[in-house]
Amino acid sequence: MHPITVSRAASSNRLHRDRTTSTAALLFLVAAVAAGCGPSFDPPSLIESTRVVGARVEVVGDANRASPAPGEAATVTWLMAAAGPMPAIGWAFALCAPGAPGALSCDGAPIAIYQGSENPPRIALSVPDAAAIGDAKSLILYGRICVGSAPDLDPSTGAPACADGGPGTTAAVAIAVQATGDDPNHNPVADRGITIDGQPWAALPAGVDACAFGPRFSAGTDDHVIAVATAAGDRESYTTLFGDPPVPTALREGLQISHFTTAGKLKSPYSFIEGDAGDDAPAAQVKWSAPRAADLSGATVVPFRFVVRDSRGGVDWTVRELCVTL
């Protein structure tokens, strides 16, 4: 099984788009394999099994910063999604020094191992001090989230598995380490306002029925326009070494917005806002078509998840629900 990766790029917006597009495709392939699908795959935006769709790093004491410095504490929260009620899970992760470029295995023994059953998985970790990290630019948090079974990690290598070959998802995230003089990276804000067909689409309090209080759409209707607002501050400017030979280069982050739902069809699994977009507060748009009446047994609540990623690894997400009627 291939791992789910959440990549952290320090590159141009074009490279960011290439890399995040590949990541989205990999997310899809892993979910399909975990669900036991055959050669015909469902769209990556359609949630039909338990999946990991994002990971957010937060520095303790500065929760909006995604780039911890040596010696700082941080948390990593994984965003889970399921077609129905979330099943019981167990998870185990290893914090590792990175191996070869792009590798998702540990370079030697893990720095630390974490296990639990909290849903969503939330891991509190400490970044080693500068003497221990050396010139490493990132750390790898690598593991497995198991559905209905216990996780297992090889303590000498950090290799993950689920007990008795149970189903699960292998997931990894590269945690950028902020060196002295580096521009800090902050998480973007996902919930700056969402509309559907031009009307405000607010988040509902937990336990509130979307078929009683949320937007309502008829089954079989097509091309409803969803717009996710952003702000200028979500695309931070920063300086990185770029080119051949590498020279300090000023860049601005781009954004990838991933869209997920449990029913109907999203026209695209993700949309992009380039770092050099002329509008300081552009909105990302995607069209959604409601499921057909034949696929429903009655009025149905349909949840959506919107995951916003910047090109240096900052992540945020928000959830919306609507009702599809017959």
Q: Give the C-alpha distances (Å, rounded to integers) separating 192 from 137, 159, 165, 203, 282.
A: 31, 39, 42, 11, 11
Give me the pLDDT at residue 164, please.
Answer: 85
> How far, in whole angstroms, is CA 152 from its chain's centroid?
23
- Rounded distance, CA 128 to CA 55, Å? 20
Segment-wise mean pLDDT, segments of 10 residues, the chain, 326 residues? 36 37 33 32 82 96 95 97 93 86 72 94 96 88 92 84 89 92 94 97 95 97 97 94 92 96 96 88 95 96 97 96 97
For the sheet containing 73-81, what is the strand order?
Answer: 51-59, 73-81, 122-126
Question: Which helix or strand (DSSP H or E) is residue 124 part of?
Answer: strand 122-126
Give me the pLDDT at residue 154, please.
Answer: 84
> Could you identify the residue written with the tokens 């804000």?
189
Domains of the chain: 50-176 (2.60.40), 194-325 (2.60.40)
